Amino acid sequence: MYFENEYLDKIMTDVVKRNANEPEFHQAVKEVLESLEPVIEANPKIKECAIIERLVEPERIIKFRVPWVDDNGKVQVNRGFRIQFNSAIGPYKGGLRFHPSVYEGIIKFLGFEQIFKNSLTGLPIGGGKGGSDFDPKGKSDREVMAFCQSFMTELSKHIGAETDVPAGDIGVGGREIGFLYGQYKRLRNEFTGVLTGKGLTYGGSLARTQATGYGLCYFANEMLKAKGLSFEGKTVVISGSGNVAIYANEKATTLGGKVVAMSDSNGYIYDKNGIDLDCVKELKEVKRARIKEYITTHPDAEYHEGCSGIWTIKCDIALPCATQNEINEESAKALVANGVIAVAEGANMPSTPEAIATFQNAKVLFGPAKAANAGGVATSALEMCQNSMKYSWTFEEVDGKLHNIMKDIYKNCAEACAKYGMPDNLVAGANIAGFLKVCDAMMAQGIV
C-alpha cells in the first residue's frame, strides 16, 4: 500500500510493476503523486481523463547500441538512451548524461522530473532526458569524439530543433556538446538549435554555463529573503565540483557566503579559509584532475576520502550539486544537528525521501531540485529562443532574465503550496505548480 487514496495507490502499484527494478523512477513518481493528492481530490476531471496514468508513461523510449573504437583499436559497445517523456507544453527538452551508472531507470527518473521542472520555468518546453553508460573519465579527446559521433549517428534520427533538444548533464559539457553538434550538422546538413549548451562561437548563449549554479543561488536567496535572511556571512557547503557546483560557488560567494567545502566522486576538500575557486576551475575545467590535488597547492586545506563526510561539516547553507540520493537520512540528521538553515538542491533528486522529511520536520528551508535547479534548462530555452531569432543577447540580458525566472518560480511554488494548505512546503509547491500547467495542456489536447 503506497497511498490511502485508491486511485493514486493503483497508479503507483502499476508504475512499480511495469517499471520493475527502477527504484529511482519509483522514488521520483511517488514524491510527485504524494504532493498531488489534494489537487486530484479537488478536480475529478484529472481521474476521468487519466491524466496521471498518461503522465507516468513516457511518450517514447529510444534505446540503441553505440559502437566505437578506442585508442588501442579495440571495438567498444555502450548503450544509448533518449526518453521523450511528455510534449504537452513544448518540444522535449532535457540533458544527456554520460556516466557508468546510467540505465533506463535513471533516464526515466530524470525525464519524469524534467516535465515539471520545465513547466515551472514558464517557457514552452516539454520533458525529455537521455544518455549513456559511457564513462568520459580517463578517455582521450579522440575517444570521446568517436563515442559522441556514434551516439549522434543514431540520436539524430529522433531529435530536431522543433522536436527534441538535448543538452548537457553529468559527464556532458562543452567538449561533448561540440562533438555531438558537429556530427548532427554533418549528418543533416543544417545549422539549427538542436542542442543547447553550445559554444559561444556556434550558437551558444552567454550565461548558459553559469545558469544552473547561479539560478540555484537566486532561488536559495528568495527562500532566505522570505524569512528575513540572506547569504551574507553564511558558511556554505557544496557537493560536487562540476558545472553546477562551480557556478553555485561563484554566485554564493558574490552574495556574501563563504564556501568551505567541495567534492568529487572520490572525496571532499575542506578549506576553512574559503575554497579558492580559481584553483578548482583550473583542476576541473582545464586539467580534468581530481579534487584531491587541491591540497598540493593549499596546504591549510584538508582532503578526506569518500563523499558523504562532506555533510558532517558545520554549515548554514548546504547545496548538494553532485548526484541523486547523495544525502541520506544520516547525512540530513548531521546537517540539522550542526544547525543548517537552508538546503537547496542543485543536483537532481540528491536527497532521499527520509532526508527530505528530516529537513522538513526540523523546519529547515528546503528548495527541491525541480524548482531550485531549473535555471539551467530555463537558460537553455533562452538559447533556443536566440537561435530561432538568429540573434544573441548580452550576458547581462540573459542573466537578468534568469534571475527573474528564478524569482517567479519561487513565488509560484510558495503560492501553490499555501493554496493547497501546505505553507512553506516547496516540495509540494513545485510539484503542484509544475503539474497544473501540464495537466491543463493535456486536457486541452484530448486523448493523445
The footprint of ligand 2IT on this chain (CB under 6 A) covers a number of residues equal to 11
Binding range to ligand NDP, per CB under 6 A, among 226-234, 250-258, 294-302, 346-354: 346-354
Q: Are 220 and 319 in contact (CB under 8 A)?
A: yes
**Which set of grid coordinates corresponds to residue 107?**
533516464
Return the residues of window 95-154 that contact ligand NDP according to CB under 6 A.
Answer: none
Rounded-to-integer distance, Cα 154 and Cα 176, Å: 16
Under rule CB under 6 A, residue 136 binds ligand 2IT = no
Amino acid, res. 203: G
Q: Are 151 and 67 in contact (CB under 8 A)?
A: no
Contact flags string 374-393 toward ligand NDP, x per CB under 6 A = --x-----------------
Return the residues of window 241-300 that contact ligand NDP according to CB under 6 A.
Answer: 241-245, 264-266
> Which C-beta is closer to ligand 2IT: that of 39 or that of 110?
110
Q: Are 340 and 367 in contact (CB under 8 A)?
A: no
> Which C-beta is closer to ligand NDP: that of 137 or that of 225?
137
Task: Please choose which of ligand 2IT, ligand NDP, none residue 55 contacts, taking the beta carbon within 5 to 8 angstroms, the exact cut-off set by kind.
Answer: none
Q: Are 213 and 321 in contact (CB under 8 A)?
A: yes
Give bridge partners of residue 97 from the DSSP assignment. 131
Instruction: Give residue 187's Cα distance to chain centre.
Output: 29
Number of helices (H), then strands (E), in the chain: 17, 12
Under rule CB under 6 A, residue 240 binds ligand NDP = yes
Under rule CB under 6 A, residue 86 binds ligand NDP = no
Examine the residue annotation and report whether 17 is marked as an active-site residue of this protein. no
* Residue 377 main-chain phi, psi, to 5 deg: -70, -30
Under rule CB under 6 A, residue 31 binds ligand 2IT = no
Under rule CB under 6 A, residue 94 binds ligand 2IT = yes
Q: In whole angstroms, how far apart are CA 283 and each of 240, 242, 277?
A: 13, 10, 10
Q: Are 435 and 32 in contact (CB under 8 A)?
A: yes
**Contact pick of 196, 241, 323, 324 for ligand 2IT (by CB under 6 A):** 196
Task: Please choose which of ligand 2IT, ligand NDP, none residue 196 contacts, taking the beta carbon within 5 to 8 angstroms, the exact cut-off set by kind.
Answer: ligand 2IT
Task: Please choose which of ligand NDP, ligand 2IT, none residue 93 contacts, taking the beta carbon within 5 to 8 angstroms, the exact cut-off set by kind.
Answer: ligand 2IT
CB of 114 to ligand 2IT, least distance (A): 6
Written as one string, the DSSP assignment of 367-384 is: E-HHHHTTHHHHHHHHHH
Q: State the catalytic residue, choosing from 108, 129, 139, 401.
A: 129
Active site residues: 129
Contact positions toward ligand 2IT, by CB under 6 A? 93-95, 117, 167, 169, 196, 348, 376-377, 380
